[in-house]
Amino acid sequence: MSSYPALLLAGVALDALWSVLYFVLWIAVMVWIYNLAKRKGRHPVGWVILAFFFFFLALILLLILPSKRTTLEAERA
């Protein structure tokens, strides 16, 4: 008897598991980007849309950019 179908099924199950884990990670990072943008006083929906298309670029830019709130407060003083 050949165990090829069992190995194929195990491979498909493993691929499905990795896909689900990647999707959950992607959603978690989108929520993180939304909350980070909101906390920094930036437009959160716009950042999530940007991250939908350019995931790493949006995350790096959002982490580098200063908060609008502290920038506005520094200009007022």
Asked if residue 33 lies in contact with residue 51, where contact means CB atoms within 8 angstroms, the answer is: yes
Q: Whose structure tokens read 């006083």?
A: 41
The total number of structural domains in the chain stands at: 1
Domain that holds residue 46: 4-76
Say how far apart CA 43 and CA 55 lie, in whole Å. 16
Q: pLDDT for 18-66, tens place per residue?
A: 999 999 999 999 999 999 999 999 999 999 999 999 988 998 999 899 8
73 — pLDDT class (breaks 50, 70, 90): low
Q: pLDDT for 10-29, tens place per residue?
A: 777 888 889 999 999 999 99
Say how far apart CA 10 and CA 41 lie, in whole Å. 47
Say how far apart CA 41 and CA 61 lie, in whole Å. 14
Q: What is the pLDDT of residue 31?
A: 96
